[in-house]
Amino acid sequence: MKRIVGLFLSLGLGVSAQAAPDAALQALLADPAARQAAEAAGKKAVFFCANCHGENGVSKLPEVPNLAGQNPAYLLEQIRKFGNGQRRDEFMQGLIKVLKDDERLQMSVFYASQQPLPGKQEAAQVAAGKVMYEKLCWRCHGEQARGSEIIPRLASQHPEYLATAVIRYRDKTGERRDPQMSSAVAPLRDEDIKAIAAYLNTLP
Ligand code: HEC
Ligand code: HEC
């Protein structure tokens, strides 16, 4: 792990302040049989979440994020942030409080195992968004926008949700707090954000 963090630092990604992936999750991911059992338990545990996040983690509501294919460590970290108030959303904060630790793990690995669904967007916007993505976001979120262990996947995400999230980091409205994100998106105008979000939605 030290070596990986060192590599990030030497690439100038500045992710040192990010929490290390959860040890229980790491152990689960390293054990295929335990992972499979947790995914099966997670599939049952998310029956209520499905009302908003969709049956298989692809939501039909533009303001509700897709969770399918998202990185499990990121999902778990966001659940933790809702739980301790570092991330604000009245409904999610209330809901997360009732989840036990093993349920959080099971839900995270279940959603991570599901298939994302890319969308279709206007070609000119997609092209403009790609240029800006490659300049400003690529170094952390990756070439295909699939993120990493600790950085979220953005590919196939709903454009409305993406735009709202980016604007919240940029304008420091308080719902989402992450200094690296706030500085990365500071130069963007609203129309740039729309274009980047359109591009990201089309990626598989
Ligand atoms: C009533 C609708 C609703 C239900 C039910 C719901 N969610 Fe959410 N969830 C949301 C919304 C809306 C957001 C986005 C909040 C924001 O804008 O920050 C969200 C965000 C999330 C995120 C953050 C995703 C990201 O990309 O950062 C996770 C993880 C999550 N929900 C997990 C769950 C789980 C697990 C359950 C079931 C225990 C659940 N949600 C049930 C509406 C819902
Ligand atoms: C220095 C690394 C870094 C750069 C550069 C960066 N990001 Fe991020 N991004 C992160 C991290 C870390 C998070 C998770 C923050 C949190 O926990 O709220 C994140 C979260 C996000 C989210 C929330 C995802 C979700 O599912 O809710 C969006 C959207 C996002 N970034 C878009 C972008 C865009 C667009 C750019 C380029 C303009 C960008 N990021 C550049 C590190 C970065």
Cα(156)–Cα(172) distance, rounded to whole angstroms? 25
Domains 23-112 and 123-202 share a fold: yes
What is the 3-class SS of 104-144, one letter each residue? HHHHHHHHHCCCCCCCCCCHHHHHHHHHHHHHHCHHHHCCC
The pLDDT, as a whole number, for residue 149 is 84
Phi-psi category of 145—alpha, beta or left, where left has phi over 0 and alpha has psi -120 to 50? left
Q: What ligand is nearest to the CA atom of residue 88? A: 1
The superfamily in CATH containing domain 23-112 is Cytochrome c-like domain (1.10.760.10)
* Shortest-distance Cα residue to atom 31 of ligand 2: 181
Tens-of-pLDDT digits for all 204 residues of the chain?
A: 444 443 443 343 434 344 567 899 999 999 999 999 999 999 999 999 999 999 899 999 999 999 999 999 999 999 999 999 999 999 999 999 999 999 999 999 999 999 999 999 999 999 999 999 999 999 999 999 999 988 999 999 999 999 999 999 999 999 999 999 999 999 999 999 999 999 999 999
- Global pTM value: 0.92
135: phi then psi, degrees, rounded to nearest 5: -75, -40
CATH, range 123-202 = 1.10.760.10
Distance (angstroms) between ligand 2 centre and the Cα of 24 equals: 24
Q: What ligand is nearest to the CA atom of residue 169? A: 2
Residue ranges of the domains in the chain?
Answer: 23-112, 123-202
Query: What's 175's DSSP letter?
Result: S
* Shortest-distance Cα residue to atom 32 of ligand 2: 166
Q: Cβ of 24: how many Cβ atoms within 10 Å? A: 13
The pLDDT, as a whole number, for residue 19 is 53
Residue among 43, 46, 52 to mutate when testing ligand 1 (max atoms within 8 A of CB)? 52
| Beta strand spans in the chain (E) | none
Q: What ligand is nearest to the CA atom of residue 159? A: 2
Please return the burial class of 132, using the count of CB atoms within 10 Å of its CB with bins 0-12, 13-18 and 19+: middle
Residue among 92, 101, 161 to mutate when testing ligand 1 (max atoms within 8 A of CB)? 92
The pLDDT, as a whole number, for residue 150 is 86
Residue among 53, 89, 113, 146 to mutate when testing ligand 1 (max atoms within 8 A of CB)? 53
